[in-house]
Structure formats: structure tokens, C-alpha cells
A and B are shown apart, each in its own frame.
Chain A
Amino acid sequence: MVIITVDMEKCQNYGQCCFEADDVFALNGDGQLEYVKEADESRRADIESAADICPMQAITVDKK
């Protein structure tokens, strides 16, 4: 499993992560980031891309 953590203190809701992995990250109706905390290993590459492209460098990707 891929474990996803977003530092919500850092996150500025730019939504860049959503374009890399829209099944994991989404902006809700108020423009606030919502995300799932665990994803299948097959999603790792896209989730790492999301972490790379986050302007606030708020996303951490771990392994379980």
C-alpha cells in the first residue's frame, strides 16, 4: 500500500496534485483539498508525481 500524508498547514489548495492522481486528490466544492490516505501500490508512480509537483511540497509518500 502507498500511504499518503498531506501537511494541511502547508497545503495552499493549488490542486496541482489532482491532475497527477485524480483518484487520490481532489478539490471539494469549497476549493479545499481532500485526499485518500491509502492507495494501491499500482498508483505509486502517479502519487509520487503529485508529491513532486506540489508547489508547497506538502505531500509525503510512504510504504506500508
Chain B
Amino acid sequence: MAASVVVVGAGLGGLRAAESLRAAGFEGAITVVGDEPSMPYNRPPLSKEALSAGVHVAELEFRRKPSVADVNWQLGSQVISSDLAARTLTLADGTQLAFDGLVIASGIRPRRLPIPGPETGRHVLRTAHDAMNVRNYLTPGRSAVIMGAGFIGCEVAATARGLGSEVHVVALDEQPMIRPLGAELGLGMRSRHLKHGVDFHLGRTVREFLGGDHVTSVLLDDGTELPASVVIEAVGSVCNVEWLQGNGLDLTDGVLVDQGMVVHSEIPIVAVGDVARHPNSLFGNIPRRIEHWNMPTETGRRAGASLAALLRGEQPDQGPFSAMPAFWSDQYAYKLQSFGMPGIATSIQIVDGSADDACIVEYCDDTGLVGVVGVDRTAELAPYRKQLLDR
């Protein structure tokens, strides 16, 4: 019988891995198991235009290539454990699923902090379902408290202001988006948010949620009390790897893979997307997870080809993995675009414009340019991207 592949996770990474298996000539059965009820859909709009205009999952679904028309989608179904040596998975309903090849595409979920007080009214934003819940609260005059000043927190802040909500952002960081962008551009982004009426509480944490059954206010560590119709928690992520425990894999930060996205040398297993900690030859081959939208496609392409080779009993391509990390963010009418890994820079310089206006920012470490960010200067970033590719 022909080999079969199971993909765990019906997100962008899972879809691209399946498409790439087919492109690499794999003709066996492919089953994609996903715990969400929907076919793979696009998440970035969930903090931006879809959160603003209304969440319609069908409109967010990815177009799927004809090559994956025969894939068996097992949706609304969670994998809870695995025995990789025996090549079996166990689903939440107790059924077992056997595989010859496995794709780990289970992504990440938002981190939750243990904070005392009512649970109702506390929300995260990862799925379409989450976005629908949050959307209901974002109406004029109501107050939204956003925990975390990273990209998702800041995008939600901008969208919520656009919908007329009062918005408070609470974060321990000195500036919004300071880790990926640095202090100066972070400050520039903060001044944009201030102009649009966002209230920042930086260097602060939440001590307690107050209210009866439902959160009505948030108490900060300095004693400030903020009114809250809803709390949106955007304070980092946790990898969905619990189902892989007990198999001797390195799960310290996602799933460790090699340059071919291969997890295991004997059992044909690959990993893709947010959960895959992969080397990148453009940035010293240090394995890192990169939570950018283009990575599920880039890693998925490579992983599908590797897995198809392994299932044919061949050695996967050993060439370096050198996809360019790319990130964009929309906040109000500002368009931010990033290439490379600005977050690893040791020196940052605004080379054109100024941080609170359209600008281009270079990020360097001792090896040279490692990243570039443009605000409203997308079309001018191509030469920087080229320079990064030539590293």
C-alpha cells in the first residue's frame, strides 16, 4: 500500500506542507487533523480589517491548490498524544491514527498569565472564534484594556480606537514593540497611537481583575484602576507541542528541526510554521522560531519536499535554508514592513525620515545588516532586502 501522511494542524503551514508534498510527487493519502472547525484561513486580518469590519471565516479561507483536492480534512479534532516510534497518534475521542510520515504544523497559542479575579471578559486573539468574541465588545464608549504592547496588542489598539472604544495598553516594556523595533521607532509608534487617543501604561503589570462574574476593571501594580468592558491578553505565546511529549524530542522552544525542516532522521517527521525552530543560513544558522506569516509557506515548501524524499527512502536536500523573514503590520493608516531579523540587532539607525513619520530604519549586529524596517516606505525597501539576501 502507498505511504500515508498525517498533518497535525490545519493552518497555513499545514496547508502549504500538503501542497508541497503533492508538488514533490507524493501520491499517497494525506490526512490533515485540525482542532479548529474551519478550513485553513488567514489570521493577520483578525487584528486588523476583519476585526474592524466583522469576522467572516469563509472570506478568510485560503485558496487551496487543485493538487490537495483529495486531502482528507479531519476538522474539529484534536491530537492529544503520539507514539512516534509506533507511528500512531491518539485523538481526543480516543481514536488512533497511523502514519508513515508526519507533519507537525500545530502552531502556537497565546500565553495566559495567572492573575486573580473574574475570568469572564478576559480574551485572547488567535482564532476567528476569538476575534468574533472580542469584536462584540469593541463599540463606542466601551473601554478595552489590552495587555501587551507587541504587534498584536498594538494592532488591536488601533482597530479598537477606529471602532470608537476607549483603549488602554498595559505593558511591562518601556515602549510598544520595543523588542522587534527598538526604542526609537517604538517611541515613534507610541506617538502615533497617542495621537489617536490610546492611553499607555508602560512599565506596569496587571495585579488583579475586579468585578463580579465579569471583569469590570483592571487593577495595575501601581494602584491605578482602569475601567474594562473587555481585556485582551496579547502577552506572548506558548507552542502547541504537548501532544508530542514522551517521544524524546527537543521541545524546549517549539520543535527543533534541521535545514530541511526534518525533525527525526529515522522516522519521517517534519515541522513547519510558527512551531518549527529552524536554522536560517542568512542569520548564522542558529535555530529560531519565527512567528511571521511568510514562514509557514517557506518552511512548508521545504518540509513537503523533504518528507516526500524521506518516504521514497531518499536523502532530503541538504542545502541551506535561507528564506527571508518578512513581516508587515497595519496600524491606523500606517504601514510597517520588516525584512530580516531586526530583533537580533545590537545597533539601530534611522537612515531616512524620522521615527514619528515615514522612515527607513537599519538594524545591524557585528556581522552587518540583519534587518530593515520601513514605515510607509515599502517600495524603497527592495535594495535593503537584497543586501540582506546577499549576506
Interface residues of A (CB under 8 A from B): 12-16, 18-19, 27-31, 48, 51-53, 55, 57, 60
Contacts and interface: CB of A to CB of B under 8 A. Distances in A.
Contact of A16 (B44, B62, B294, B379): B294
Shortest Cβ-Cβ A-B pairs, 10 listed: A31-B379, A27-B379, A52-B297, A14-B328, A15-B378, A53-B297, A53-B294, A55-B328, A57-B42, A31-B378
Nearest to A18: B382
Interface string B353-391: 000000000000000000000000011011001000000
A55 B44 contact: yes
B379 A15 contact: yes
Interface of B: 16, 42, 44, 62-63, 65, 293-294, 297, 324, 326, 328, 330, 335, 337, 378-379, 381-382, 385
Nearest to A31: B379
A15 B330 contact: no
Contacts of B65: 48
A15 B294 contact: no
Contacts, number: 38
A1 B381 CA distance: 31
Contacts of B381: 15
B63 A16 contact: no
B169 to A, nearest CB: 24
Contacts of B337: 14
Nearest to B62: A57
B326 A16 contact: yes
B385 A19 contact: yes
A52 B62 CA distance: 9
A35 to B, nearest CB: 14
B382 A15 contact: yes
Contacts of B42: 57
Given A19-B385, A31-B378, A57-B62, A12 B335 contact: yes
A48 B20 CA distance: 12
A31 B375 CA distance: 13
A45 to B, nearest CB: 9
B178 to A, nearest CB: 24
A25 to B, nearest CB: 12
A57 B63 contact: yes
